[in-house]
């Protein structure tokens, strides 16, 4: 059974999680759904690390492919 997005949004709001659109597919998702810290799209690389934005679970593989193409790493 799939939980409706409105329930996820309510949960995120009640418990203080973020609720933002995925930068790849634009579908809103909440911080409570973000299972992996590696599920991110790298937006900038610096000498000591990288910054990025989280992606929804449906776009993790796309983010890895984009990161590999842009930066040479899957992350």
Q: pLDDT per residue over 5-55, tens digit each?
A: 999 999 999 999 999 999 999 999 999 988 766 678 889 888 878 888 999
Q: For residue 49, give the nearest of 73, 22, 24 by alpha carbon.
A: 73
| Per-residue pLDDT at 74 | 73
| Per-residue pLDDT at 50 | 85
Q: Which domain holds residue 19?
A: 5-71
pTM for this prediction: 0.83
- Total domains, the chain: 1
């Amino acid at each position: 059974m799939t939980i409706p997005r409105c329930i996820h949004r309510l949960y995120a709001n009640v418990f203080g999680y973020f609720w933002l659109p995925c930068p790849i597919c634009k579908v809103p998702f909440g911080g409570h759904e973000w299972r992996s810290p590696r599920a991110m799209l790298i937006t900038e690389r610096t000498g000591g690390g990288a910054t990025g934005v989280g992606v929804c679970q449906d776009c993790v593989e796309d983010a890895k492919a984009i990161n590999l193409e842009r930066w040479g790493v899957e992350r």
